[in-house]
């Protein structure tokens, strides 16, 4: 055996498909001083027993592209490495048992085409022609994805490892990592059963072991194992090797051909967590005990789909543990806690499909020092330390496994392991009839009113939200926005640091609030947020609820060695938005401070009843209003004072969403992201002339633009994700949508690619494809509704 080198530029832990893919892609990018360590043999962890399905379609454009790359790679790998991979582009058929599922499939097919994936809506009869052994009389329809396929996971892993080795990567089996050395927050090396290796880049691709390895370094890797099953049957007449993969999500089941029989697997709605006391060692090419009770719901449904299964013997029952994350997306990127420590793990039973693209994305991130595309859905920084709690993770993964085949209702909220993070006034909101959603662990009010059934049409809660919007537009509403992420940046060089990070000029007088972008080197949005200068050497930075870890990490890295410290004060303050034309009068009625001469974009300490709070005049709903930053211990008092006026209507995030879209305000993670520049977003006005990160590319001619969209038909309902067409040709898609009570129809924001060389949009009308039906809509670079001028006119 080759002996362990004393140092390497990169050490990868884990010889599953993920680790081997990272090794392959690092080598392809020219980084070959790489050692991959596997405690057992390659693929011996979870990879060897995967069913090998490779489905391309994901819920976002960037993740779909990532998996599409996997299929391209798997198709060429055999020719390149000489190793068989078992890759077969057999296509896949997904079927619907209910009209609602069919609507979901139609929406999926439309999105697929938008993302460059071939997809065809098919009838039950056509589904039956593609998959003759299935029963179709109980189906509503289906979707045919010809580009999907299947592969042999162990062979793929070997082929990737061989490709990496050929370029110089050292792959070592039977070497176990036992410790990680971190000094000054930076990775320095690993201890192994064969000795110590120094390294500056450590890549944790240890599958279900990745959480423990993260802990060795002091980093949070939020995943938990759950049992996951499939069976392989005896041969069945009519089951041919060229059968596509079949997915029957209403029956929680998938089926694919294997040596004349079927692999029957699935995603039950109530999963069984495993490994609560850690993963036993050794655990190599190992399975868990059969659990037919837990598998029954999948098997019974599979028999309904393929009646021949009733009389077919089962050759083998596979129960293998797989790691699941709190939101069913994998974990990718550099940990915010430890520099040089990267993670590619938590693949939620889609690791074979994802590994090609994820391995490339992680290798590029390592080599370039930052992601080269929009990886936000998978970015490990979407979580924080709290998400590493084992009990919370165990309770959550009972639900996440089943999400693969659960109905993806547009207003779906996860239900397990909640409530977790609560605003100090949570109980008051609950008493007032709040319906909560959750973001970054926070309970947040969606609306006040009764629970209503989910639908793809206009939801039952719409009248309650409309009333909240009307109250805000006509008088004033109170929003609990405590979940905002809040940081204090303080130090003699705080201003210089922010001046470099922010597109806008932040060298402003004390008490000024500045809305600004934070860009990457490519000129794309890493965040948009507000900074308030509260002292000469101190700023309050306020950003979206989901971005606490990511923005903190981005800003901290951007500080370099400037003399300034960044502190996360999110939990220290509640935030109440008092918004609407009456807000000034109402706030004045409970304050001795002067609200009459309180300019837009300024912030100051005010008294409010018996409390002292920071009032900031900004708006995300387009109305006169203030955000009140209230020390947590005063939150209940202030809330009581505000509600005691008897003039405020409580409102939630659905109302905020409708109003910000009416006003054309962009949201990070939807209209703004790492690939979108201020020029594309129509936010040039937030950019100073020069001297900020990303300035070189921020204002160049964009290839797509963010536009406002107003549907002509008042009855149709948009949710986001719908395709935009012009003369039948895709020209973009909807990023955010809501029913506008003010305009009496759906309004939306989205991207269009029909852009003139000067950066204008060359279309005025488009068709919006809603589950296969086309609706005409007006598009514009201007917001559909301007509350102030509307009020002046009316
Ligand atoms: C029943 C079942 C069916 C599945 N079907 C599919 C499917 O059809 N399609 C699909 O895309 N995905 C499927 N999956 C999921 C897929 O198998 C996983 O997502 C994927 O294999 C994860 O790969 P990995 O490299 O992250 O993890 P692993 O394969 O587990 O690799 C991690 C490796 O790290 C090694 N390691 C751990 N700790 C150390 C240490 N301290 N030192 C050195 N080495 C260490 C382990 O030994 C292991 O080999 C399925 C999973 C299951 C359980």
pLDDT digits (tens, 9 = 90+) for 534-570: 999 999 999 999 999 999 999 999 999 999 999 999 9
How many angstroms separate the CA atoms of 378 and 393, rounded? 17
Band (1; pLDDT cuts 50, 70, 90):
low
Predicted local distance difference test score (pLDDT) of residue 791: 56
Measuring CA to CA, which residue among 224, 303, 227 is closest to residue 264? 303
379-403 residue pLDDT tens: 999 999 999 999 999 999 999 999 9
Strand partners for 189: 181, 198
Is 318 close to ligand 1, i.e. is its CB under 6 Å away?
Answer: yes
Is 750 close to ligand 1, i.e. is its CB under 6 Å away?
Answer: no
User: Which ranges in 521-571 belong to alpha helices (H)?
Assistant: 548-559
Task: Tell me the average pLDDT across 268-288.
Answer: 97
- Give 615-651 as a DSSP string: EE---SSSSSEEEEEEEGGGHHHHHHHHHHTS--EEE
Is 734 a residue whose pLDDT tops 50?
yes
Is 320 close to ligand 1, i.e. is its CB under 6 Å away?
Answer: yes
Is 794 a residue whose pLDDT tops 50?
no
Band (115; pLDDT cuts 50, 70, 90):
confident
Predicted local distance difference test score (pLDDT) of residue 116: 87
Is 444 a residue whose pLDDT tops 90?
yes
How many angstroms separate the CA atoms of 417 and 409, rounded? 20
Is 351 close to ligand 1, i.e. is its CB under 6 Å away?
Answer: yes
632-659 residue pLDDT tens: 999 999 999 999 999 999 999 999 999 9
Band (114; pLDDT cuts 50, 70, 90):
confident
Range 313-330 burial, b when 16+ CB lie within 10 A, else e: ebeeebbbbbbbbbbbbb
Pocket test for ligand 1, best of 23, 46, 199, 209 (most atoms within 8 A of CB): 46
Is 295 close to ligand 1, i.e. is its CB under 6 Å away?
Answer: no
Min mean pLDDT across 53-62, 222-231, 242-251 is at 53-62
190-225 residue pLDDT tens: 999 999 999 999 999 999 999 999 999 999 999 999
Quick one: how far is CA 251 from the chain centroid?
26
Q: Which residues, other chains included, contact 144 with Cβ-Cβ below 8 Å and sequence gap of 6+?
A: 91, 92, 93, 119, 120, 122, 126, 127, 130, 244
Average pLDDT, the chain: 96
Ligand 1 atom 3: the closest Cα is on which residue? 50
Identify the residue whose tokens are 């806008």.
504
How many angstroms separate the CA atoms of 263 and 89, rounded? 17
Which pair of structure tokens corresponds to residue 563? Answer: 């003399």
CA of 356 to the centre of ligand 1 (A): 14
Strand partners for 649: 477
Measuring CA to CA, which residue among 460, 445, 484 is closest to residue 655? 445
Give the nearest ligand 1 atom to 17 CA: 25
Is 330 a residue whose pLDDT tops 50?
yes
CA of 756 to the centre of ligand 1 (A): 47
CA neighbours closer than 13 Å in the CB half-sphere of residue 677: 20
How many angstroms separate the CA atoms of 500 and 693, rounded? 6
Contact 539, 532 (CB under 8 A): yes
Instruction: Give the full edge-to-edge strand order of the sheet including 245-248.
Output: 120-122, 141-145, 92-96, 245-248, 253-258, 261-266, 224-233, 314-324
Band (60; pLDDT cuts 50, 70, 90):
confident
745: DSSP letter: E
Strand partners for 266: 253
User: Which ranges in 85-140 belong to alpha helices (H)?
Assistant: 99-114, 124-130
Ligand 1 atom 22: the closest Cα is on which residue? 351
294-321 residue pLDDT tens: 999 999 999 999 999 999 999 999 999 9
Band (793; pLDDT cuts 50, 70, 90):
very low
Identify the residue whose tokens are 């007006």.
778
Q: Residue 477: in which H helix or E strand, if any?
A: strand 477-480
Pocket test for ligand 1, best of 45, 191, 232, 252 (most atoms within 8 A of CB): 45
Is 678 close to ligand 1, i.e. is its CB under 6 Å away?
Answer: no
Question: Using CA of residue 382, residue 384, residue 390, residue 395, what is the dihedral sign?
Answer: negative
Is 346 close to ligand 1, i.e. is its CB under 6 Å away?
Answer: no
Predicted local distance difference test score (pLDDT) of residue 575: 98
Is 40 close to ligand 1, i.e. is its CB under 6 Å away?
Answer: yes
363-376 residue pLDDT tens: 999 999 999 999 99
Residue 415 burial by Cβ neighbours in a 10 Å radius (0-12, 13-18, 19+):
exposed
Is 573 a residue whose pLDDT tops 50?
yes
How many angstroms separate the CA atoms of 207 and 224, rounded? 10
Is 13 close to ligand 1, i.e. is its CB under 6 Å away?
Answer: yes
472-484 residue pLDDT tens: 999 999 999 999 9
Contact 592, 607 (CB under 8 A): yes
Model pTM above 0.95: yes
Is 343 close to ligand 1, i.e. is its CB under 6 Å away?
Answer: no
Which pair of structure tokens corresponds to residue 45? Answer: 């962890």
Is 469 close to ligand 1, i.e. is its CB under 6 Å away?
Answer: no
CA of 207 to the centre of ligand 1 (A): 5
């Amino acid at each position: 055996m080759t002996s362990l080198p004393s140092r390497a530029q990169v050490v990868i832990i884990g010889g599953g498909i993920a680790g081997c893919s990272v090794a392959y892609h690092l080598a392809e990018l020219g980084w070959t001083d790489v050692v991959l360590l596997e405690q057992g043999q390659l693929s011996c962890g979870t990879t060897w027993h995967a069913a090998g399905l490779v489905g391309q379609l994901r819920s976002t454009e960037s993740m779909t592209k990532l998996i599409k790359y996997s299929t391209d790679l798997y198709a060429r790998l055999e020719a390149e490495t000489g190793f068989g991979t078992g890759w077969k582009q057999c296509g896949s058929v997904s079927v619907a048992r209910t009209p609602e599922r069919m609507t979901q499939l139609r929406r999926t097919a439309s999105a697929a085409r938008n993302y460059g994936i071939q997809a065809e809506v098919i009838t039950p009869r056509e589904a039956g022609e593609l998959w003759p052994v299935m029963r179709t009389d109980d189906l509503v329809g289906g979707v045919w994805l010809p580009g999907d396929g299947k592969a042999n996971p162990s062979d793929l892993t070997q082929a990737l490892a061989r490709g990496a080795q050929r370029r110089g990567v050292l792959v070592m089996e039977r070497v176990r990592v036992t410790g990680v050395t971190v000094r000054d927050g930076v990775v320095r090396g690993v201890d192994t059963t064969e000795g110590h290796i120094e390294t500056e880049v450590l890549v944790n691709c240890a599958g279900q072991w990745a959480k423990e390895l993260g802990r060795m370094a002091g980093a949070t890797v939020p995943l938990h194992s759950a049992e996951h099953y499939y069976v392989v049957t005896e041969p069945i007449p009519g089951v041919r090797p060229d059968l596509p993969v079949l997915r029957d999500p209403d029956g929680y089941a998938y089926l694919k051909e294997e040596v004349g029989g079927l692999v029957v697997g699935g995603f039950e709605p109530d999963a069984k967590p495993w490994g609560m006391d850690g993963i036993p060692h050794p655990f190599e090419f190992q399975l868990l005990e059969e659990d037919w009770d837990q598998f029954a719901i999948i098997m019974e449904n599979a028999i309904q789909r393929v009646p021949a299964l009733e009389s077919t013997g089962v050759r083998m029952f596979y129960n293998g543990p797989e790691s699941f994350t709190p939101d069913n997306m994998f974990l990718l990127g550099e940990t915010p806690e430890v520099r040089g420590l990267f993670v590619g793990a938590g693949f939620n039973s889609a690791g074979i499909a994802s590994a090609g693209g994820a391995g490339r994305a992680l290798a590029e991130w390592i080599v370039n020092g930052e992601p080269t595309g929009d990886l936000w859905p998978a970015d490990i920084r979407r979580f924080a330390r709290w998400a590493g709690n084992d009990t919370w993770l165990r309770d959550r993964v009972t639900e996440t496994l089943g999400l693969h085949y659960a109905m993806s209702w547009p207003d779906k909220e996860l239900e397990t392991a909640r409530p977790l993070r609560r605003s100090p006034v949570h109980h008051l909101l609950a008493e007032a009839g709040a319906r909560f959603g959750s973001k970054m662990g926070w309970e947040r009010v969606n609306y006040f009113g009764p629970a209503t059934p989910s639908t793809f049409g206009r939801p039952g809660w719409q009248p309650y939200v409309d009333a909240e919007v009307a109250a805000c537009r006509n008088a004033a509403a109170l929003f609990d926005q405590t979940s905002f992420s809040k940081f204090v940046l303080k130090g003699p060089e705080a201003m210089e640091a922010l001046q470099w990070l922010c597109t806008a000029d932040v060298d402003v007088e004390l008490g000024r609030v500045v809305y600004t972008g934070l860009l990457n080197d490519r000129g794309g949005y890493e965040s948009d947020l507000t900074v308030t200068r509260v002292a000469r050497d101190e700023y309050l930075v306020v950003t979206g609820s989901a971005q606490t870890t990511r923005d903190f990490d981005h800003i901290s890295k951007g500080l370099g060695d400037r003399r300034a410290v960044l502190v996360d004060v999110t939990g220290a303050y509640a935030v109440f938005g008092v918004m609407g034309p009456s807000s000034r009068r109402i706030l004045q009625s409970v304050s001795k401070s002067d609200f009459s001469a309180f300019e837009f974009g300024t912030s100051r300490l005010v008294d409010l009843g018996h409390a002292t709070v920071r009032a900031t005049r900004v708006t995300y709903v387009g109305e006169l209003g203030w955000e009140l930053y209230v020390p947590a211990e005063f939150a209940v008092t202030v809330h009581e004072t505000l509600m005691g006026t008897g003039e405020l209507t409580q409102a939630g995030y659905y109302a905020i969403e409708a109003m910000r879209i009416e006003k054309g305000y962009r949201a990070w993670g939807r209209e703004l992201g790492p690939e979108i520049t201020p020029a594309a977003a129509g936010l040039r006005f937030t950019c100073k002339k020069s001297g900020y990160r990303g300035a070189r590319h921020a204002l160049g001619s964009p290839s797509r633009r963010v536009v406002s969209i107003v549907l002509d038909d008042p009855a149709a309902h948009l949710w986001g994700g719908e395709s935009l067409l012009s003369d039948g040709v895709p020209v973009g898609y909807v990023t955010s949508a809501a029913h506008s009570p003010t305009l009496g129809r759906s309004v939306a924001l989205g991207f269009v690619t029909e852009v003139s060389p000067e950066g204008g949009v060359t279309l005025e009308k488009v068709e919006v494809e809603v589950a296969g039906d086309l609706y005409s809509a007006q598009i514009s670079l201007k917001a559909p509704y301007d509350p102030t001028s509307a009020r002046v006119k009316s």
